[in-house]
Structure 1
Amino acid sequence: MKVLGACPLDCPDGCSWVVDVEDGVAVGLRGNKAHPVTRGALCVKVNRYLEQLKSDERITFPMRRVGRKGEGRFERITWDEALDEIATRLHGVVAEHGGEAIWPFHGTGSLGYIQGLEGFSGRRFFNVLGASLHDPTICSVAGTLGVKYTLGTSGGMDPEDFVHSKLILLWGTNPLSSGHHGWKFIQDSGAYTVAIDPVRSRTAERCDEHLAPLPGTDAALALGLMHVIVSMGAQDDAFIAEHTVGWDEFRTRIAEFTPDRVAEITGLPVERIVALGERIARTRPTAIRASQGMQRHAGGGMALRALACLPGVTGDWAIPGGGLHYSTSGHFDLNTAGLVRFDLLPHPVRTLSMTRLGEGLLETEGPPVKALFVIAANPVGSNPDQRGVRRGLAREDLFTVVLEHFPTDTVDYADIVLPATMQPEHLDVLAAYGNLYLVWNEPAVPPPGECRSTTETFRQLARRMGLTEPALYDSDEELAAQLLKGHDLDRLRREGFLKVSPRPVPVDKVRFVSDRAAMAGHDPLPAYIPPADPGDGLVLISAASHYFLNTTFGNNPELRRRAGDPMVTLHPDDAAARGIADGDRITVANDRGSFEAIAEVSDRVRPGVAATPKGRWAKHSGGSTVNATVAERDSDFGGGAVFHDNRVRITPRVAAARLDAVAAGID
């Protein structure tokens, strides 16, 4: 039997897959050849998904903590015992502190609207209790707001239109490791490709040209490229007159960013900046692909504002194959309000920031957080300020419930662990953020042991707490129908995917001057905001791994083997200045924390920059990871994270290496 499903993971591609089932067991998994983006292929990570599904490490029954928080020692309990304890503790929290003392902390372990997606699953239950709202600031909020300020929508160009492009700028993105299906359309275009990335990534190596600016200087580079275009008189005056707002003011701002000034800011040669500006000026259509990594710094929102303006200067927004592709989420017309039902809240409640979990658990007052539900998330591995997150989770007066598949670093801090289903074991609906397809996920196999879907867990918990709101007991099929109101649900379920009609981009006009930005307290014009880490040393960026997806697959034996030991790449000049050779064991540290790794000395990174992949589990990496060094600090728009605005000191572990040699008897 073949069952159509959908990859749930935090990747722009939103793949449609096919599960082969024999006698109730999943025996094969492959990409759906009929899906125009998936085209029969999955990635190196998801190709091992069935190993995860059947792993001996799966959590398959409820557990209660028996050791200290952080030790990861548990005893098996029944579902009745788990539900009774959770219900009793939540009733007590609400009675003593009010519902806002409960924090439902959702991550992107699943992008399914029914079972996950940063707060959709279980939100009705928490609304009835009056729990705090969870603001998913950790991923893309700064860039999303930046694009919205310029275009009125977060939706950009359809990536399938890349086939019409003549020039494609891959700006701060590495699709061959994180969303490789879009690369197929880029290849099919035959366009001249330019990678703009501090690291010569797998994608950059395949491009015609690679520019390596200093991290966090993208807005300055974008404004400098527009300076070159305008200096040539190559702006599209007709498009600007009819389809933009604030050109005169913006032109004055562009004039400030001369190639010489931009070269000083970005660390790029002047002639490379001018040459790329001239290439853009004479090439129509030009497309820009940017992803979430480039906006994770102090000026990330402004960087995306500037990028969204560039096709407005050249007129590319009016040409098929031209424009900016950051996220397609703004194109989906889904009834999310009917799904989450904020009308069930008994009164207005506060919002807690996902990016500031440590602060929220340690410093929040009025009331303090007394109960934490962690759903589709592993904040010890994925959040900034790893030390602060651990301190917050270690509070004995904090009741923590974790819904999980595996014993992650976060599970080790739970009071109650509930076994959750994985994607082939439940119903779900997904919308890609890298293309225009809705995808249906049909349950293919029964869950192992006592695993329950997230929706069923909250239905059972609502019943145990005596909650009478009928909406809390809607089935998964009813939830899907409410979400997809106005869409052909039967066709989606039958065919497995459905392309939505794109909304206009820009919604009205390209707003070089944004009143909405000004009302939010920002410069109404695109600007360059420098990186803000007050530390010294090298800038450390932690981009997506080729083998892990956030921390998903961080426990897969084969993918861990392929990834090898934790590595940090340094430029030869920076390594020599620190007495570090290729293969040395090193310590990476700042005032926030530290981790250990192996040095890779290579010119794949530019001078002044160090790079390491994210996604490691601390328990498999010496007890800490790169996020031990990242600040719990906000970007310019929306309180986004600043993972790449991070300075560190890197030193060789000479003394430790000598001790190891003595222990091995080789010194």
Structure 2
Amino acid sequence: MGWGYDRWVKVFGACALDCPDGCSWEVTVEGGVAVGMRGAKAHPVTRGALCVKVNRYLEQVNAADRIRYPMRRVGRKGEGRFERIEWDEALGEIAERLGGIVEEYGGEAIWPFPGTGNLGYIQGTEGFPVRRFFNVLGASLHDPTICSAAGSAGLKYTLGTAGGMDPEDFAHSGLVLLWGTNPLTSGHHIWKFIQDSGAYTVAIDPVRSRTAERCDEHLAPLPGTDAALALGLMNVIVTRGAHDAGYLAEKTVGWYEFRSRIMEFTPDRVAGITGLPVERIVELGERIARTRPTAIRASQGIQRHAGGGMALRTMACLPAVTGDWAIRGGGLHYSTSGHYQLDVPSLARFDLLPNPVRTLSQTRVGAGLLEASDPPVKALFVIAANPVGSNPEQRAVIEGLSREDLFTVVLEHFPTDTVDYADIVLPSTMQPEHTDFVAAYGNLYLAWNEKAVEPPGECLSTTETFRRLARRMGLTEPALYESDEDLLRTVLRGYDIDRLRTEGFLKIEPRPVPIEKINFISPLAERAGHDPLPGYTPPGDPGTGLILISAAPHYFLNTTFGSNPELRRRTGESRITIHPDDAAARDIAEGTPVLVANARGSFEAIAEVSDRVRPGVAATTKGRWAKFTNGATVNATIAERDSDFAGGAVFHDNRVEITPR
């Protein structure tokens, strides 16, 4: 893509950060330097607008603290002291250490740890292409459980797919439930389609977020009780005879049995579970009963508790009871990833594994590093991830990374908290510096990212890093040396890659939802040891104190941008919001420095006393770096414990006590 004068050109790009919108952008390059970036106006979702974070992306690319050269640790682990070394020296040391570990302990002693810092399918997204390298070594498998696993599993039990409605169809909704999501902070483009519809909007969230303040109505249930609320709303609908009997007879399995489950959750019972007034539950149930179509937007935060998978499984039943799955503008949207038919198996090449190997959970880093045996983890390869800043049980993560017998390599852009524990740090390219594509999980568009500029210093793409490392280790498997172009054509087999590259983005055809019929009774769930019927699983933290929610901040994205001076200034110091009643009981006033603690750990914050949270709940934000917050963040208090389905994380199933300090 290029036009204008000889001196400058515009290049299609795509945001690969962990956001549902997967925006398409245009980079203006002058004299080989990226001098401007804006959202692509022609993209039907981006519509020319990026977010407050990505508007500063070129500033991030050119930041003074960016890692530009390979480095070796010279201080103790955690000190963050390094010396610059040559690539040849870095690759040689890595090759020697990995080779020795494979020989002494076997390949499973190596843990490749890709994260979601880059959602490009070639340079990021769970490390599919570089998995080839680790498969040849026989390394342990990495299970990406930390983000959306529980909710996706729950939806598959009900719908046969985690893919839901087309988010652009929110423009045709009559009623929109924004359930446990704050799109004006995390994925704001869907708000435009909601506005286009003129629909009545209801925010269901324990916190009165930016989005909740813009909605027509806000309900604040206790965290982790969403499935009970969904059952209560269905109870109101069925009791009033507003269910779609025809749709239920033709398109569902197990309606009779599920109806009995629904009738157990009367508004009175649900009020006791959720902490909501009975009349509010009844009013919303009646509104859903008389409004067609109703659409639900739920995002990852809603499933980060003990019953998170069941919550999504049950919520997906609501549009079936009303028949809204059959109406444009009705249904549920959680993630569109289930609609893409990308050839990931050919990209990852798990057939290269010499033998079946063990799987290690992304959510359980501390346990994996401290407790895994036969063999123990002897090498950790972190790619586009920051487990010290992003994982539960921060103290255990740090303890594991502090092991002197653990060889840790980190591919990174910036000196994160995790980098401080690395033995070798390798500089990697950022989005304008390599070619890739993004498959948005908040819409149905593939977006192309063309290399626009050369990387600074000695930064290499992730794929090129592993091609060089494979060569240094003397590995002969031809798949390890395929070019990025070959990898792109492999994973995009079945899509028009030339059109995608020329036009910058391409809308895919969605798969049917449900795949066949709505499964109120799921034999698949039963075989996995779960209740065959959708239901309600209570929160799992039995402790006392306040329930702590740690949602996304407006100016950070996970821990990305955590070192950006301007975005840190806008975010301000670490704060925790508590209700006036809870503050008074603890002798806490507005602005009081407090300690937030439980048996797992603690962090410091400044109290904000506000009715933005309901009594019994406290709220803070994630994404801060420990090195900027006296060595600990909210993740110090969060349990390294699995949710109900697929080993998901439980960030919002967390009880703490808050005291003045």
Same fold? TM cut 0.5: yes
In structure 2, the residue matched to 1:18 is 26
In structure 2, the residue matched to 1:636 is 644
In structure 2, the residue matched to 1:548 is 556
Task: State the 1:121 CA deviation.
Answer: 3.6
* Residue 236 (1) aligns with residue 244 (2): yes
In structure 2, the residue matched to 1:103 is 111
Partners in 1 of 2:275 and 2:127 — Cα distance? 41
Where 1:14 maps in the other structure, the secondary structure is coil
* Residue 482 (1) aligns with residue 458 (2): no
Q: Is the 8 A contact 2:201 2:215 kept in 1?
A: yes
Partners in 1 of 2:222 and 2:431 — Cα distance? 39
Match of residue 270, structure 1, among 269, 278, 282: 278
Match of residue 349, structure 1, among 343, 357, 363: 357
RMSD: 0.5
In structure 1, the residue matched to 2:332 is 324
Identify unmatched segments of 5+ residues in structure 2. 1-8
Partners in 2 of 1:445 and 1:119 — Cα distance? 23
In structure 2, the residue matched to 1:501 is 509
Q: Matched residue pairs, number? A: 653
Where 1:641 maps in the other structure, the secondary structure is coil
In structure 2, the residue matched to 1:663 is none
Partners in 2 of 1:519 and 1:649 — Cα distance? 39
* Residue 170 (1) aligns with residue 178 (2): yes
Partners in 1 of 2:132 and 2:504 — Cα distance? 27
* Residue 226 (1) aligns with residue 234 (2): yes
Residue identity matched to 1:43? C
Match of residue 142, structure 2, among 123, 134, 138: 134
CA deviations on 1:163-184 (whole Å, 9 max, x unpaired) are 1100000000000000000110
In structure 2, the residue matched to 1:539 is 547
Partners in 1 of 2:191 and 2:410 — Cα distance? 36
CA deviations on 1:213-272 (whole Å, 9 max, x unpaired) are 000000000000000000001000000000000001000000110000000000000000
Partners in 2 of 1:133 and 1:220 — Cα distance? 35
In structure 1, the residue matched to 2:565 is 557
* Residue 574 (1) aligns with residue 582 (2): yes
Partners in 1 of 2:162 and 2:657 — Cα distance? 37
Match of residue 450, structure 1, among 453, 458, 463: 458
In structure 2, the residue matched to 1:152 is 160
Partners in 2 of 1:39 and 1:23 — Cα distance? 28
Where 1:435 maps in the other structure, the secondary structure is coil
In structure 2, the residue matched to 1:434 is 442
CA deviations on 1:35-63 (whole Å, 9 max, x unpaired) are 00000000000001111100010100000
* Residue 82 (1) aligns with residue 82 (2): no
Q: Is the 8 A contact 1:165 1:284 kept in 2?
A: yes
Partners in 2 of 1:141 and 1:522 — Cα distance? 16
* Residue 621 (1) aligns with residue 626 (2): no
CA deviations on 1:288-308 (whole Å, 9 max, x unpaired) are 000000000000000001111
In structure 2, the residue matched to 1:395 is 403
Q: Is the 8 A contact 1:119 1:134 kept in 2?
A: no
* Residue 52 (1) aligns with residue 60 (2): yes
In structure 2, the residue matched to 1:72 is 80
* Residue 646 (1) aligns with residue 650 (2): no
CA deviations on 1:553-586 (whole Å, 9 max, x unpaired) are 0000010000010010000000011000001100
CA deviations on 1:427-476 (whole Å, 9 max, x unpaired) are 11110000000111100010000000000000000000000011100111
Partners in 1 of 2:30 and 2:267 — Cα distance? 63
Alignment of 1:588-603 (within 5 A): 588-603=596-611
Q: Is the 8 A contact 1:338 1:483 kept in 2?
A: yes
Worse-matched range after superposition: 207-216 or 613-622: 613-622
Where 1:516 maps in the other structure, the secondary structure is helix
Q: Is the 8 A contact 2:129 2:487 kept in 1?
A: no
In structure 1, the residue matched to 2:5 is none
* Residue 182 (1) aligns with residue 190 (2): yes
Q: Is the 8 A contact 1:121 1:454 kept in 2?
A: no
Where 2:539 maps in the other structure, the secondary structure is coil
Residue identity matched to 2:312? L
* Residue 43 (1) aligns with residue 51 (2): yes
CA deviations on 1:54-74 (whole Å, 9 max, x unpaired) are 001010000000111000011
Q: Is the 8 A contact 1:311 1:324 kept in 2?
A: yes
Match of residue 468, structure 2, among 439, 460, 468: 460
Task: State the 1:82 CA deviation.
Answer: 0.2
* Residue 281 (1) aligns with residue 281 (2): no
Task: State the 1:534 CA deviation.
Answer: 2.3
Identify unmatched segments of 5+ residues in structure 1. 654-667
Where 1:103 maps in the other structure, the secondary structure is strand
Partners in 1 of 2:554 and 2:626 — Cα distance? 18
In structure 2, the residue matched to 1:530 is 538
Residue identity matched to 1:354? Q
Partners in 1 of 2:189 and 2:473 — Cα distance? 45
In structure 1, the residue matched to 2:416 is 408
Match of residue 256, structure 1, among 254, 258, 264: 264
Worse-matched range after superposition: 462-471 or 530-539: 530-539
Where 2:218 maps in the other structure, the secondary structure is strand
Q: What TM-score, normalized by structure 2, do the two folds share?
A: 0.99
In structure 1, the residue matched to 2:3 is none
Where 1:169 maps in the other structure, the secondary structure is strand
Q: Is the 8 A contact 1:165 1:191 kept in 2?
A: yes
Where 2:36 maps in the other structure, the secondary structure is strand
Match of residue 246, structure 1, among 236, 244, 254: 254
Partners in 1 of 2:641 and 2:623 — Cα distance? 20
Where 1:358 maps in the other structure, the secondary structure is helix
In structure 1, the residue matched to 2:151 is 143
In structure 2, the residue matched to 1:656 is none
In structure 1, the residue matched to 2:123 is 115
Task: State the 1:120 CA deviation.
Answer: 1.2
Task: State the 1:535 CA deviation.
Answer: 1.6
Task: State the 1:119 CA deviation.
Answer: 2.5
CA deviations on 1:119-162 (whole Å, 9 max, x unpaired) are 21410000000000000000000000000000000100000000
Partners in 1 of 2:540 and 2:354 — Cα distance? 40
* Residue 315 (1) aligns with residue 309 (2): no
Where 1:122 maps in the other structure, the secondary structure is helix
Partners in 2 of 1:515 and 1:223 — Cα distance? 21
Match of residue 169, structure 2, among 126, 140, 161: 161
Partners in 2 of 1:408 and 1:303 — Cα distance? 34
* Residue 31 (1) aligns with residue 53 (2): no
Partners in 1 of 2:294 and 2:485 — Cα distance? 43
Match of residue 125, structure 1, among 133, 155, 162: 133
Q: Is the 8 A contact 1:147 1:154 kept in 2?
A: yes
Where 1:120 maps in the other structure, the secondary structure is helix
Match of residue 17, structure 2, among 1, 6, 9: 9
In structure 2, the residue matched to 1:665 is none
Where 1:479 maps in the other structure, the secondary structure is helix
Instruction: Could you list the structure 1 runs, at least 4 aligned residues long, displaced by more than 6 angstroms after superposition.
Output: none
Partners in 1 of 2:85 and 2:476 — Cα distance? 27
Where 1:402 maps in the other structure, the secondary structure is strand
Partners in 2 of 1:372 and 1:412 — Cα distance? 14
